[in-house]
């Protein structure tokens, strides 16, 4: 297990699973929406990482953007725009990774923090997790495509409830609104998530997992017809490598 | 059809498509060819009330005959060497189109699942509008265990039904569901016990085929439940 810390993010590899942590304890406010550079993340992922966990350092996931920082940046709107654009590029990069991604959500997960969690395929939380999109309370809207991802994940009605109220939501409500996929009752959420992802990829070649995740991305971002045609292509690509040494069997 | 790999009959205005290579009813290239031909034929049939898809004998189907299929795909790539891009074999796209054909029909299409229904067979069932199953079923997409992915639209169809986390578990681990698991996860609309599966499917088609609207699925299933409960009361 190695650990390489940058200022706003931590990294460690456990088995084939990479664990990326948002670092700014205790609440892990986002100093910068781009909490890790894409280049740095790419180099971490190149160490044969087959599943990615995003978590907060310590007791919380992240309380989101540092409002003071945003106010300072907003004095020069161009600077704010650049910061948000970079943040968006990072979040898009994460959401397009062709490995399973999982947000392990301890404690608070607000605003920009929730926007990061929404880039993951799966969100696991604990009984004590709290969620919110509080931007509306400050006359703002989510700046990191949270609106878009929220709609896709929770549907129109749930998203509007979350966005317009700005209310803090507990774990049970988060499950009901589909922000969280499961509430985990284990002592150590990260250990649980690491074991979960390890189980998901166990016994499969990295290429098959990558191709499956590409198929999932296609299904999310393309029309059904386009996605299905892509699947045929992926299937043929993999079938080309398939050595049919066994007797005829079905699938 | 040019071969006997599938059996097609119209009874009481309902089309019955049975995969017909028992016991496992594998989806061979012969089957896919016959299926493609059948879709062309169905287009010209007037007044068809609905379609029921099932298997001859104990099973729905064990899915694509992988040895034959991968051989044909490899053959395509070898034949096209030097003529890049080799592209996707035409027959594979045709197979997808055949599956999509049933999904896009505006008459009810019911998969009547019994025994084994895995891989491409389950993909075909996922393209159907309704899935009924008996108590003894095994459904799933084990492609990843063979180093493949579901190639005929299975992932897209799965994501319409399951939360992404469950769909990923199913596709990555290749794990299968029994009837209780399939019902709990909405992969089966109903588990049929006590009534003949094809008869139950026929009842469902009769209910849904009047002024059929795909989005009224829930309503048709309620009426179906009611019809089935009446059946068990009056012997």
CB–CB contact A250 B118 (8 Å):
yes
- How close, in Å, is residue A139 to chain B by CA atoms? 32
Q: What is the pLDDT of residues A170-203, one digit of tens each?
A: 999 999 999 999 999 988 999 999 999 999 999 9
Q: What is the DSSP string of B63-124?
A: -BBHHHHHHHHHHHHHHTTTSS---S-HHHHHHHHHHHHHHH-SS-EEEEEEEEEETHHHHH
What residues does each domain of chain A span?
9-201, 206-239
**At B134, is the pLDDT very low, low, confident or very high (cuts 50, 70, 90)?**
very high
Q: Which residues contact A73 (CB under 8 A, 6 or more apart)?
A: A79, A80, A83
- How close, in Å, is residue B229 to chain A by CA atoms? 32
Topology (CATH level 3) of domain B6-233: 2-enoyl-CoA Hydratase; Chain A, domain 1 (3.90.226)
Q: What is the pLDDT of residues A6-60, one digit of tens each?
A: 689 999 999 999 999 999 999 999 988 899 999 999 999 999 999 999 999 999 9
Q: What is the pLDDT of residues A137-149, one digit of tens each?
A: 989 999 999 999 9
What residues does each domain of chain B span?
6-233
Q: Which of B26, B65, B71, B148 to probe the A interface (max A CBs under 10 A)?
A: B148
Superfamily of A9-201 according to CATH: 2-enoyl-CoA Hydratase; Chain A, domain 1 (3.90.226.10)
Q: Between these two residues, B22 and B73, which has the higher pLDDT value? A: B22
CB–CB contact B148 A224 (8 Å):
no
The mean per-residue pLDDT over the stretch A217-226 comes to 95
Distances (CA, A) of A162 to A55, A112, A151, A173, B119: 22, 14, 10, 11, 39
CB–CB contact B168 A182 (8 Å):
no
CB–CB contact B156 A205 (8 Å):
no
Q: Which of B65, B93, B144 sits opposite A248 (nearest CB)?
A: B65
Distances (CA, A) of A88 to A41, A43, A74, A84: 15, 19, 17, 6
CB neighbours (10 Å) of residue B6? 24
Q: Say what percent of chain B tops pLDDT 90.
A: 83
Report pTM.
Answer: 0.92
Residue with tokens 């910061």: A83
* CA dihedral over A83, A87, A93, A96, signed as positive or negative: negative
Backbone dihedral angles phi then psi of residue B107, each to the nearest 5 degrees: -120, 155
Q: Which residues contact A158 (CB under 8 A, 6 or more apart)?
A: A150, A177, A178, A179
Q: What is the Cα–Cα distance from B168 to B166, expressed in whole angstroms?
A: 5
Q: What is the pLDDT of residues B182-208, one digit of tens each?
A: 999 999 999 999 899 999 999 999 999
Q: Between these two residues, A249 and B109, which has the higher pLDDT value? A: B109
- How close, in Å, is residue A94 to chain B by CA atoms? 16
Contact B53, B124 (CB under 8 A): yes
- B233 is written with which tokens? 């009361």
Q: What is the Cα–Cα distance from A188 to A167, expressed in whole angstroms?
A: 27
Q: Which residues contact A129 (CB under 8 A, 6 or more apart)?
A: A61, A105, A106, A107, A108, A109, A170, A171, A174, A180, A183
Q: What is the Cα–Cα distance from B141 to B120, expressed in whole angstroms?
A: 8
Give the pLDDT of residue A60. Answer: 97
Instruction: Find chain B residues with C-beta within 8 A of A125's C-beta.
Output: none
State how far Cα B3 lies from the chain centre. 20
Q: What is the Cα–Cα distance from A241 to B64, expressed in whole angstroms?
A: 17
State how far Cα B222 lies from the chain centre. 22
State how far Cα A227 lies from the chain centre. 22
Contact A153, A120 (CB under 8 A): no
Pairing status of strand B14-19 against strand B50-55: parallel
The mean per-residue pLDDT over the stretch B132-157 comes to 96
Q: What is the Cα–Cα distance from A212 to B90, expressed in whole angstroms?
A: 22
Instruction: Find chain B residues with C-beta within 8 A of A241's C-beta.
Output: 147
Backbone dihedral angles phi then psi of residue A177, each to the nearest 5 degrees: -80, 0
- B179 is written with which tokens? 């009837």
């Amino acid at each position: 297990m190695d650990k390489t810390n940058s200022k706003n993010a931590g990294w460690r590899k456990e088995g084939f699973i990479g664990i990326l942590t948002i670092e700014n304890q205790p609440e892990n406010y986002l100093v910068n929406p781009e909490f890790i550079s894409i280049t740095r993340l790419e180099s971490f992922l190149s160490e044969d990482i087959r599943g990615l966990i995003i978590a907060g350092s310590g007791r919380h996931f992240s309380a989101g953007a540092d409002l003071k920082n945003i106010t300072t940046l907003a004095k020069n709107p161009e600077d704010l725009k650049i910061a948000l654009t970079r943040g968006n590029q990072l979040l898009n990069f994460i959401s397009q990774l062709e490995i399973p991604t999982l947000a392990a959500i301890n404690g608070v997960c607000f605003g920009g923090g929730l926007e990061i969690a929404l880039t993951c395929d799966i969100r696991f939380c604990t009984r004590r997790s709290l969620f919110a999109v509080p931007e509306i309370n400050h006359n703002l809207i989510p700046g990191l495509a949270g609106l878009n991802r929220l709609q896709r994940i929770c549907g129109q009605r749930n998203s509007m409830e979350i966005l317009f109220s700005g209310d803090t939501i507990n774990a049970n409500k988060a499950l009901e609104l589909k922000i969280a996929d499961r509430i985990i009752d284990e002592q150590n959420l990260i250990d649980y998530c690491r074991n979960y992802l390890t189980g998901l990829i166990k016994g499969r070649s990295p290429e098959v997992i990558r191709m499956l995740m590409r198929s999932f991305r296609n299904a999310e971002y393309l029309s059904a017809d386009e996605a299905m045609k892509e699947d045929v292509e992926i299937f043929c690509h993999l079938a080309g490598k398939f050595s049919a040494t066994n007797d005829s069997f079905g699938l | 059809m040019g071969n006997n790999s599938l059996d097609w009959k119209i009874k009481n205005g309902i089309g019955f498509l049975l995969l017909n290579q028992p016991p496992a009813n594998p989806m061979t290239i012969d089957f896919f060819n016959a299926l493609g031909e059948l879709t062309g034929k169905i287009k010209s049939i007037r007044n068809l009330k609905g379609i029921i898809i099932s298997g001859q004998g104990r099973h729905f189907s064990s899915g694509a005959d992988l040895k034959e299929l991968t051989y044909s795909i490899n053959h395509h790539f070898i034949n096209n060497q030097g003529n890049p891009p080799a592209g996707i074999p035409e027959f594979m796209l045709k197979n997808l189109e055949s599956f999509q054909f049933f999904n896009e029909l505006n008459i009810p299409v019911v998969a009547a699942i019994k025994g084994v229904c895995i891989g491409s067979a389950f993909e075909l069932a996922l393209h159907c509008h309704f899935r009924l199953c008996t108590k003894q079923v095994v459904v799933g997409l084990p492609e990843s265990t063979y180093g493949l992915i579901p190639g005929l639209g299975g992932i897209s169809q799965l994501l319409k039904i399951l939360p992404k986390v469950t769909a990923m578990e199913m596709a990555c681990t290749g794990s299968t569901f029994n009837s209780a698991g399939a019902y709990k996860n909405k992969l089966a609309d109903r588990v049929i016990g006590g009534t003949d599966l094809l008869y139950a499917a026929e009842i469902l088609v009769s209910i849904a085929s009047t002024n059929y609207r795909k989005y009224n699925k829930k309503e048709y299933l309620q009426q179906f439940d009611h019809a089935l409960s009446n059946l068990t009361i009056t012997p």
